[in-house]
Amino acid sequence: MAGGTKAGATVTGLGATTPLGGDVAATWAGMLAGRSGVAMLEQDWAEDLPVRIAGQMLVDPAEVLGRVGARRLDRFQQAALVAAREAWADAGAPEVEPERLAVVIGTGVGGMRTTLDQDDLIEASGPRRVSPYTIPMLMPNGAAGVISIEFGARGGAHTPVSACASGAEAIAMGLDLIRLGRADVVIAGGAEACVHPLALAGFAQIKALSTRNDAPQEASRPFDAGRDGFVLGEGAGVVVLERAGFAAARGARAHATLAGAGTTSDARHITAADVDGQVRAMRLALAAADLGPLDIGHVNAHATSTPTGDVTESASIAEALGTHPAVTATKSMTGHLCGAAGAVGAIAAILALRDGHIPATRNLDRLDPQIKLDIVTGAPRQGRWTAAMTNAFGFGGHNTSLTFTT
């Protein structure tokens, strides 16, 4: 294992539901094939919107959970539970004392759809028609609560709400809980399901979204000179982290080691990214793993496909790590899953290390000349790397970087 003296956490379970597939295997196959999960919105409410494309989950989580299991959960909670169940099964359903099992599930906005749908209902039909499950469904900590109940986790149920850094920050918090001796096993990740007229209109008003309504699968194009904004997506990504000694004692299979994490805040602007904050997050993630810049062979970039954001991150990566890592942007295929993005990006980085394949960035026809990085494009890159990093940055100046080792 690359790295040094600081104990990491063993990644024993992976779970996801995304626009590319209803589980990790389908999502990973879609990434390696360079497939897009972005499509035209067919709902009636999308007809008058300036942006009518999104990356919706390919498999409806309500279908997986069943009508009874899903009806009391917001869509973001459904996605989180589907991903958590897959990750837990993948980890071999570890036997752990409830007080030593914790949950950390981040989200950007939580039950936004429930909030807005129930508000429409009260205006149309009055307060007696509002669902009695409204509050548990809309609260951002609802996914963490549901998962803690599902698996009997009594070591804490936490919910970072840090915009598009939420999922990665949740995984970083999971590592902290293990290193602090507060948990032996942590279910960590992120979930989001806010493909809704208000979210699309709001992001469109600040010119953050691509307007390629006529070419949905070509709209998300990180690092490309012709990019014009991100594509809103939905889904969930969850990992099971274990104290290394605990995982070894039970003979658990390891996908990788979460070796370090770095979290910073810009304290500069509510929406604009900052090179300094991103660089500090990456350097903290390196230091926490006892790694140096040259140890990082691969970066799964935040790279949302916005004109300024991609340039800022490329400068940050070059300053913090250099230009040698092989960089990819899987949001070119999934769209931007907001609070789930960092967790899904982490899973992709883990699989790249484990399997020796880095997915190519889709829709990169002409590299922006301002970007001086080794971007994987055209076809997946094969090789063996001992360490990888994933980045997740969010409105509000939130930055989280994670380092994984083999």
Which helix (H) or strand (E) is 107 found in, with range?
none
- Joined together, the tokens standing for residue 173 give 């918090």
* Residue in this structure with the two tokens 């600081």, named with its chain if needed: 6
Give the residue numbers marked as catalytic: 164, 302, 336
Q: What CA–CA distance (Å, rounded) separates 229 from 7?
A: 39
User: Which residues are bridge partners to 374 per DSSP?
Assistant: 326
* Residue in this structure with the two tokens 């970066």, named with its chain if needed: 299
- Joined together, the tokens standing for residue 5 give 């003296």
Q: Where does residue 301 rank: exposed (0-12), middle (13-18), buried (19+ CB within 10 A)?
A: buried
Question: Residue 151 in contact with residue 89, Cβ under 8 Å?
Answer: no
Walk across the sheet containing 374-375 and list its strands: 157-158, 101-106, 185-192, 235-243, 9-17, 256-265, 398-405, 387-394, 298-300, 326-328, 374-375
Question: Residue 273 in contact with residue 45, Cβ under 8 Å?
Answer: no
Q: What CA–CA distance (Å, rounded) separates 119 from 401?
A: 37
Strand 374-375 versus strand 326-328 pairing type: parallel
* Residue in this structure with the two tokens 């290394």, named with its chain if needed: 244
Q: Is 163 left (phi over 0), alpha (psi -120 to 50) or beta?
A: left
Q: What CA–CA distance (Å, rounded) separates 171 from 249?
A: 22
Q: What CA–CA distance (Å, rounded) separates 325 from 304?
A: 19
Burial 227-245 (b: 16+ CB within 10 A, else e): bebbbbbbbbbbbbbbbbe
